[in-house]
Amino acid sequence: MDKQLLISTGVVKNASGSAYVELGNMKIMCSVQGPRDSFRSVDSQDKGALYCDFKYAPFAQKDVYQPNLLNRETKSMSLLLEKILSTSVDLEAFPKAVVELYIMVLEVDGDPLGLSLMCASLALTDAGLNLFGLLGCCCVSVMENNQMIVNPTSDELEKAKCYTQLAILNSTKVGVDGGVDFLLLGGDLFNDNKPTPSTLDKTTSLLNKYCLGSGDINFTHHPTEKSPLVVLFRCSIAFTARPVNYEDENLNIALPVFVIHGNHDDPTHEGPESKAHSALDILSSSRLVNYFACVPDVQNIEITPILLSKGSTRLALYGMGYVPDERLSRMFEKKQVTFFEPPNSDDWFHLFLIHQNLESRGSQRTFRLDLLPKFLDFVIWGHEHECKIDPTFNAQNRFYTMQPGSSCVTSLIEAESIPKHVALLEITGTDFHVTPIPIQNMRPFIFQTCSLSDFPHLDAASPTVAEAIEKTLDQQIESILSRLPPSDKLPLVRLSVDITGFPSISPPLFGAKYVGRIANPNSLLYPRRKRALTLGAGGGEGEGEEEGMGMDESLSSSAQFEMMVGFIETFLKEQGGLKILNAMHMRDTCLFLWAERVIA
């Protein structure tokens, strides 16, 4: 018999959150109080606690008033619900605080556990708590004739041979709690190749917290002579090969991490005779990550796979850390890059992790997909900030590509305002499935553009135009802030303003009034102008690209480099262009000087 499901939230006005669920003759209500300061002892100082009080109403059982008989099981049910629900609530968001759940079964007809979990999950959501996912639950019974009944009644349970509870949690706590085999990072773990001590301390603390433990490693590594999966212990005398961290008998690794470097944390030289080092080498030497895919020979790149297997599934994991795009493209075109395939290559799933420019940026040469070998099955593209988590099929090379994007906002550009995700990649044989997982607790970021010429009341010739511009832009900012959802983190806001034909604006002076309201007051405003380009013989002047007013300090080092090169190229074009050197040589020289400036 079909049972009607009725769900309602916000039914108890004085509670932090509440829900009522009715399925057939089963009726359950749940209310939430908190989070609030704890009057009880909290086990952990780093996260809060969740307590549950499960009870039956005195009249809950059909035709029988037996409150004592029903409530004998309430203590065990309360503890069971606490244990299950604690895994779905982000308790780290309110350390040393408690959330209290009160579940009342108003009418019982079957096993109330599944419906209680669903009701509690809805009430926690109504309270505004951050959940890793909503719990969907049901009870399934098997009858004498092997018929299966979902959410059986009390009478049906008495006749059943057996029954079980099923619960599904769409978990976003990726890693150990998500049961993944390993974590794969596609470069730029650090935004600087010389991170601050506090950044290194926080990074190592997180890796210790989530990666160390007594968990089982359920996949097998098949070492080869040229396997890149050898962690090198760097010292002043020589390189000494050591096992990967999860095979080190002195360590307990629950979640292996494999990482390549990007263009921000790439290896650099500290002196003319020193070896190139990355901040990732520190994590590698401390045995917290497996850093691979470094390119020691820029004249001849050999890319060998890490060979892993689990059951009948075989994974060939290729990786290549960042190499300047122009150089890498030339090496591919000159056949100076070699990929090695494993024996019986068709039986392996070939995954390639790369960190390069994919989209065109002015005159910069970028890396092309068609240069990659066609035996690859899946390419994970690092470096690009925009999140394009859904895989796309490349018809020319017959493989799929995925662009996870940056895991947090690192540049105040429009592409960063798209919701961030990580991906759960499941591989079975030569098939795969990708589950996008939203990143929780992100700092809000809003990007908006406007043009002063779109406001009719602004007159560039007016003596009070500066005050009028400031008032107009203030209205734009206030409109943005009013649309932001409540958050415990100050938002990032970027207003890109076309000021062509109007006087200049000082972003730091304008943003000073928003200190304490947004996270980036100095870079809140990004004024830009359209520059006129001469079209040459037979042409007049037309509008060209937009250019910013000076170097944008909020941009990453590589983005600032591209902006600097753009300024130089524009100036040289206006002077008649280069006569002896070509643009590529000029860029290489700029890159060398920029690297010296960054190291200094």
How confident is the model over 447-496, as pLDDT tens digits?
989 998 899 898 888 888 888 988 999 999 999 888 887 777 888 889 99
CB neighbours of 19 closer than 8 A, spacing ≥ 6? 7, 8, 9, 11, 29, 30, 119, 120, 122, 123, 126
Reported confidence tier of residue 265, pLDDT bands at 50, 70, 90 = confident
Query: Residue 545 has what pLDDT?
Result: 47
Label each residue of 165-228 as H, E or C: EEEEECCCCCCCCCCCCCEEECCCCCCCCCCCHHHHHHHHHHHHHHHECCCCCCCEECCCCCCC
* pLDDT above 50 (res 344): yes
Of residues 544 and 331, the one with the higher pLDDT is 331
Stretch 339-348: mean pLDDT, rounded? 88
Q: Tell me the per-residue pLDDT of 426-457, one tens digit each, with 9 for 90 and over.
A: 888 888 888 888 877 778 888 989 998 899 89
How far is residue 457's CA from residue 468's CA, in Å, rounded to a whole number? 8
Stretch 66-86: mean pLDDT, rounded? 69
Q: Are residues 397 and 255 in the same domain?
A: yes
Q: Are residues 456 and 399 in the same domain?
A: no
Reported confidence tier of residue 30, pLDDT bands at 50, 70, 90 = very high
Query: Residue 418 has what pLDDT?
Result: 81
Query: Residue 20 has what pLDDT?
Result: 92
Q: Tell me the per-residue pLDDT of 562-579, one tens digit each, with 9 for 90 and over.
A: 667 767 776 776 666 776
Query: Residue 349 has what pLDDT?
Result: 93
Q: Are residues 397 and 461 in the same domain?
A: no
Inside any domain, residue 344: yes
Number of structural domains in the chain? 3
CATH code at position 320? 3.60.21.10
Of residues 369 and 273, the one with the higher pLDDT is 369
Q: Are residues 251 and 390 in the same domain?
A: yes
- Alpha-helical segments (H) within 36-172: 67-70, 74-86, 113-126, 154-159
Which amino acid appears at position 444 of this protein?
Answer: P
Q: Are residues 323 and 376 in the same domain?
A: yes
- For 514-543, give the DSSP string: GBTTBS-GGGSEEEEEEEEEE--TT--EEE
Handedness of CA 285, 287, 288, 294 (dihedral sign): positive
Token readout for 116 is: 């209680």
Q: Which residues pair with 89 in a beta bridge?
A: 131
Which of 416, 438, 460 is the last residue in one of the domains?
A: 438
Q: Tell me the per-residue pLDDT of 192-247, one tens digit each, with 9 for 90 and over.
A: 778 888 888 888 888 888 888 877 788 888 877 666 654 333 333 334 445 677 88
Please report how many Cα atoms fall inside a 13 Å half-sphere around the Cα of residue 307, on the Cβ side.
Answer: 15
Inside any domain, residue 599: no
Q: Are residues 150 and 226 in the same domain?
A: no
Inside any domain, residue 598: no
How far is residue 278's CA from residue 424's CA, in Å, rounded to a whole number? 27
Average the pLDDT over each of 214-218, 356-360, 382-386, 480-484 and give the range with the smallest value.
356-360
Q: Are residues 138 and 158 in the same domain?
A: yes
Q: Tell me the per-residue pLDDT of 239-258, one tens digit each, with 9 for 90 and over.
A: 444 567 788 778 888 888 88
* pLDDT above 90 (res 351): yes
Of residues 136 and 90, the one with the higher pLDDT is 90
- Picking from 256, 331, 326, the residue whose alpha carbon sits closest to that of residue 287 is 256
Do 35 and 50 form a contact (C-beta atoms < 8 A)? no
Which of 116, 145, 169 is the last residue in one of the domains?
A: 169
Do 114 and 157 form a contact (C-beta atoms < 8 A)? no
* pLDDT above 70 (res 164): no
Do 18 and 11 form a contact (C-beta atoms < 8 A)? yes
Which of 536, 554, 572 is the last residue in one of the domains?
A: 554
Q: Tell me the per-residue pLDDT of 78-131, one tens digit each, with 9 for 90 and over.
A: 887 887 787 778 777 777 788 899 999 888 877 787 888 888 888 988 888 877
Q: Are residues 93 and 233 in the same domain?
A: no
CB neighbours of 332 closer than 8 A, spacing ≥ 6? 371
Query: Residue 536 has what pLDDT?
Result: 42
Catalytic residue list? 264
Q: In a 3-state reduction of DSSP, which class is residue 305?
A: coil
Do 114 and 121 form a contact (C-beta atoms < 8 A)? no
Output b/e per residue, 228-255; b: 16+ Cβ within 10 A. bbebbeeeeeeeeeebbbbbeeeeebeb
Average the pLDDT over each of 2-11, 162-171, 188-197, 248-257 and give the range with the smallest value.
162-171
Which amino acid appears at position 566 of this protein?
Answer: G
Q: Are residues 326 and 205 in the same domain?
A: yes
Inside any domain, residue 575: no
Query: Residue 69 has what pLDDT?
Result: 46
Which amino acid appears at position 425 of this protein?
Answer: L
* pLDDT above 50 (res 524): yes
Stretch 300-304: mean pLDDT, rounded? 85
Inside any domain, residue 153: yes
CATH code at position 56? 3.30.230.70
Do 280 and 265 form a contact (C-beta atoms < 8 A)? yes
Q: Rounded to two decimals, what is the model's pTM?
A: 0.58
For the chain, how long is the longest CA-to-CA vector? 99
- Picking from 221, 279, 282, the residue whose alpha carbon sits closest to that of residue 248 is 221
Inside any domain, residue 572: no
Q: Are residues 136 and 216 in the same domain?
A: no
Q: Are residues 254 and 338 in the same domain?
A: yes
Range of the domain at 481: 445-554
Q: In a 3-state reduction of DSSP, which class is residue 329?
A: helix
Token readout for 510 is: 């304008």
Inside any domain, residue 138: yes
Inside any domain, residue 354: yes
Of residues 370 and 561, the one with the higher pLDDT is 370
- Picking from 303, 329, 331, 302, the residue whose alpha carbon sits closest to that of residue 317 is 303
Query: Residue 192 has what pLDDT?
Result: 77
Query: Residue 359 has what pLDDT?
Result: 57
Average pLDDT, the chain: 76
Q: Are residues 282 and 390 in the same domain?
A: yes
CATH code at position 531? 3.30.110.110
* pLDDT above 50 (res 34): yes
